[in-house]
Amino acid sequence: MIEFKKVIPAPIPEEMIEPSEIWNSELRLETGSLVLVSAHSGKGKSTLLHLLYGLRNDYEGEALADGESIRGKSRRDWETWRRRRVALLFQDLRLFPALSARENLELIPVANPRAPSHEEMADRLGMTSFLERPLASLSQGQRQRIALMRVLGKPFELLLLDEPFSHLDEENTRLACALVEEVTRANKAGLILTSLGETPPLPFERSLVL
Amino acid sequence: MSQSFSSHTLRSSLRVAGPRKEIWIASLGCLLGSTLLLLAVQLYQDGNAFLKESEGPRNYFTLNKKIEGGAIVNLGKSDQSFDPAEIDRIKKLEGVRRVGGFTRNRFPLTLYIWPSGKVGLGAAAKTDLFFESIPDEFLDFVPEEWQWDDNSSTVPIMVPKFYLDLWNFGLAPSRVEYPALSTEAATGMPIELYIGKTGEVRLMGRFVAFSKRINSVLVPESFLKSANEKYGQADANDFFFLWKNGAIEGPPISRSSLASMEGEEGFDDWEVSPLENPAERAPASETLQGEAKPEEPSRIILEVADNPSDSFLALVRERGYEINREFPEQDLIKKAMLALFLGIGGIGALLSLLSIATFATSFRLVVTQASEQTGNLLLLGFSREEVGQVFLTRFLRLFLWVLGGAILAGYACKWILVEQALRFGVDLNPGVSLATLTFVSAYALLFLFVNKRVIKNSVEDLVP
């Protein structure tokens, strides 16, 4: 369970805090719930996810995970957090362009046993023929699907997706959402997905506006 | 949950060119430094082992009691010999390994040396001389001819090497009848030995070797023992002051001379006193009935470990002994070896330190150049150890090649040096010792430790 107690990230201007349903408010996100966070650019969507991933510590208030403040986590704790409990799909994907698509999928510290195989995921997302290709030769949409497959291939209790379908068409978004829902459910995990306003076809339990 | 990635893929994701020039310089410095360090350690051991096997780090000294005063005082021939208790005390001093006494001749001796190589041909160099002998184990080497028995026709003689130099550069240039002599020519010269006050016994002798250690005219112990028995004056070491009518009469006289005077008028009133204590007078007739003074060495030779100990030097000062330190070659060699070790080792250590620093800087640069990929791996949940291990493996692979090259280069240099040393009659073990390999391992561990730490710190700070 994630809790926010009056969290205000440092770079957010005063006028953006007031209308937000997350910043400077008391918020609880139950374990296993699917949450959509929508906002326009620059409202702090990535900041929210990065904060939960331990990449930012410059905020006021308190963020708790399972009742404990995440501010006090050590480097080793964050390492375990990222390795086994939380998976994040970055907006800029953070793939390795020198490797092939398959090598990118394989390059995770621990494999998620509840995730479908790489071949099956690639098949469902129409990426089978691109698996052996160098990542540098793939389009942005194809890369986005590879990054999604990689994040689903990691073990997680909470999945953080930062504008994951921004370069996908409607059909591919639908296929990707189905895969995300299936793997998230299989893991009995929660999901926080950010978008610029559109609502992907997923059964969100909560929808918040930043 | 199982490990998903292959090590190959992980290495591939972090493959960056790196600062090649710096890494090459560091590798070259490390190769040279390690080779020099290895050689210094190995050669120091070899040198020590060689000295121990051949001569050992020993020094030889001769020791005698100081002669003081002018000729008149010393005409009395006061006792300058070492008694058994003194020798025993010296033997027990720290660092003293062996003690040997010099035996001297107890008969007058005159030599005729024929530089022409033939008796009677040209001019002979005539000199009154002495012989001494010491146990063979104290000689710097024992020549083949160093043997004598009653059937031998020639007495082998060993003189200090610098005697030959004195002849060649002092005597020979000043006298037209004396030629300069090579070592071979000098050993070929016939020498007539005339023994006795009037030269009644004639023997032939020959220089067989020139010693760099013993500053004396040496003959084999067997010859001197036999010659002293045959021709020696039994009391050559046993002199007295003769007192007549309360005053000393003439120079000191020997026990045999005193015995020959026994029948003379007034002999029963005569007194004698020992040379070292003239006031201690005793009747001459009683003294003759007493035992003759035993023969004792007046010079002794010592073998000591390294330099003389403080206790040894203290005794020398306390007793007023004179120490004659002869040809401390081992000491010089040891000092030269230490200087060589420090020189080569110092340069090697400096190069190694520089290469450690260059390596560390280079690998910090490698990590920095791959910082984006490294950061991404850490964000995926890879541990710092897993990521750092990739860089460390890369460093290790290079370092082991360099270290292997240094061991090979060190071995090759050693082999060449061994070949060269053989030409000078120095036989060294061609291998690299276990101690050297242990040193190299310790050095490698230090190198590894420093670079591992640098890599760890560089990776550590990339992601919070």
**pLDDT tens, B142-179?**
888 898 888 888 999 998 888 888 888 888 888 877 88
Residue B85 shares a structural domain with residue B16:
no
Give CA–CA dist B151/B139, Å, rounded. 24
Select from A100, A159, A170, A106 the least CA-distant residue to A133: A100
Residue B271 shares a structural domain with residue B366:
no
Give CA–CA dist B372/B90, Å, rounded. 78
- Identify residue A62 by its one-letter amino acid code: E
Cβ-count burial A54-75 (b if 16+ within 10 Å, e if not):
bbbeebeeebbbeeeebeebee
Q: Which of A29-33, A204-208, B285-289, B348-352 has the lowest mean pLDDT?
A: B285-289
Residue B267 shares a structural domain with residue B366:
no
Give CA–CA dist B236/B197, Å, rounded. 13
Contact A199, A36 (CB under 8 A): yes
Q: Where are the alpha helices (DSSP H) in A27-136?
A: 45-52, 75-80, 101-106, 118-124
| Nearest Cβ partner for B381 among A83, A90, A96 | A83
- Provide the 8-state DSSP code for A38: E
Check residues B180 and A12 and name the one with the higher pLDDT: B180
CA of residue B325 relative to chain centroid, distance: 11
pLDDT tens digit sequence for B116-151: 888 888 888 888 888 999 888 888 778 888 988 888
- Residue B95 region by backbone torsions, left for phi larger than 0, else alpha for psi between -120 and 50, else beta: left
Whether residues A83 and B383 touch (CB distance < 8 A) is answered with yes
CA of residue A60 relative to chain centroid, distance: 23
A85–B contact, CB cutoff 8 A: no
Select from B13, B39, B220 the least CA-distant residue to B131: B220
Give all strands (DSSP E) within B149-198, no chain letters.
154-160, 191-195
Alpha-carbon distances of B362 from B30, B70, B161, B415, rounded to whole Å: 13, 78, 61, 34
pLDDT at A67 over 50: yes
- Containing domain of residue B19, as a range? 7-56+331-460
- Which pLDDT does position B56 carry in this prediction? 44
Residue B433 lies in a domain: yes
- Residue B117 region by backbone torsions, left for phi larger than 0, else alpha for psi between -120 and 50, else beta: left
The residues near A185 (Cβ < 8 Å, ≥ 6 apart) are none
Residue B347 shares a structural domain with residue B248:
no
Residue B335 shares a structural domain with residue B454:
yes
- Which pLDDT does position B327 carry in this prediction? 40
Interface test with B, best of A58, A90, A96 (most B CBs within 10 A): A96
CA of residue B273 relative to chain centroid, distance: 45
Residue B312 shares a structural domain with residue B402:
no
Residue B308 lies in a domain: yes
Residue B314 shares a structural domain with residue B336:
no
Q: How many CB atoms lie within 10 A of CB A93?
A: 21
Tokens of A110: 């621990």
- Which pLDDT does position B67 carry in this prediction? 67
Q: Dihedral of the CA atoms B453, B455, B457, B461 (nearest 10)?
A: -170
Residue B129 lies in a domain: no
Whether residues A109 and B382 touch (CB distance < 8 A) is answered with yes
Question: Quick one: average pLDDT of A115-135?
Answer: 96
Residue B257 shares a structural domain with residue B314:
no
The residues near A163 (Cβ < 8 Å, ≥ 6 apart) are A45, A91, A194, A195, A196
pLDDT at A144 over 90: yes
**The 3-state secondary structure of B294-345, one letter per residue:** CCCCCEEEEEEECCCCHHHHHHHHHHCEEEEECCCHHHHHHHHHHHHHHHHH
Cα-flanking dihedrals φ and ψ of residue A180, to 5°?
-60, -45
Q: Which DSSP helix (H) or strand (E) runs through A191?
A: strand A190-195
Residue B285 shares a structural domain with residue B354:
no
pLDDT at A154 over 90: yes
Task: Order across the sheet with A206-209: list the strands.
Answer: A86-89, A158-162, A190-195, A34-38, A206-209
> What's this model's pTM, rounded to 2 decimal places?
0.59
**The 3-state secondary structure of B89-133, one letter per residue:** HHHCCCCEEEEEECEECCCCEEEEECCCCCCCCCCCEEEECCCEE
Domain positions in chain A = 2-209
Burial of B165 (0-12, 13-18, 19+ CB in 10 A): exposed
Number of domains in chain B: 3
Contact B135, B189 (CB under 8 A): no
- Mean residue pLDDT of chain A comes to 92
Give CA–CA dist A162/A37, Å, rounded. 10
Q: Chain A partners of B384 at a C-beta cutoff of 8 Å?
A: 75, 79
Residue B265 shares a structural domain with residue B345:
no
Cα-flanking dihedrals φ and ψ of residue B247, to 5°?
-135, 150
Q: Chain B partners of A54 at a C-beta cutoff of 8 Å?
A: 464
- Which pLDDT does position B55 carry in this prediction? 53
pLDDT at A174 over 90: yes
CA–CA min distance B376, chain A (Å): 6
- Which pLDDT does position B17 carry in this prediction? 67
Question: Quick one: average pLDDT of A89-117?
Answer: 94
Chain A with chain B: Cβ pairs closer than 8 A: 79
Pairing of β A190-195 and β A34-38: parallel
Residue B311 shares a structural domain with residue B411:
no
Q: Chain B partners of A78 at a C-beta cutoff of 8 Å?
A: 464
With vertex at residue B284, the alpha carbon angle to CA B283 and CA B287, rounded to the nearest 5 degrees, is 90
> For each of chain B's 464 residues, which pLDDT tens digit applies?
556 677 888 888 887 766 778 888 888 888 888 888 888 888 888 877 777 666 544 577 788 877 665 544 454 455 577 888 888 888 888 878 888 888 888 888 999 998 888 888 888 888 888 899 988 888 877 888 898 888 888 999 998 888 888 888 888 888 877 888 888 888 888 999 998 877 778 899 999 988 877 888 999 999 988 888 888 765 555 677 888 888 888 777 777 777 778 888 888 888 888 776 777 888 888 877 776 666 678 788 888 776 677 787 788 888 888 877 644 455 666 777 778 888 888 888 888 888 788 878 888 888 888 889 999 999 999 999 999 999 899 888 988 999 999 999 988 988 888 888 777 766 777 788 889 889 989 988 988 898 889 888 888 877 76
CA–CA min distance A105, chain B (Å): 9
Give CA–CA dist B42/B431, Å, rounded. 9
Residue B96 shares a structural domain with residue B39:
no
Alpha-carbon distances of B109 from B42, B68, B182, B232, B254, rounded to whole Å: 53, 25, 26, 11, 19
Check residues B277 and A73 and name the one with the higher pLDDT: A73
Q: Specify the fold of A2-209.
A: Rossmann fold (3.40.50)
Tokens of B107: 């008969």
Select from A105, A93, A98 the least CA-distant residue to B16: A98
Residue B178 lies in a domain: no
Whether residues A111 and B1 touch (CB distance < 8 A) is answered with yes
* Numbered residues of chain B with Cβ closer than 8 Å to any chain A Cβ: 1-6, 9-10, 12-13, 15, 373, 376-384, 386, 460, 463-464
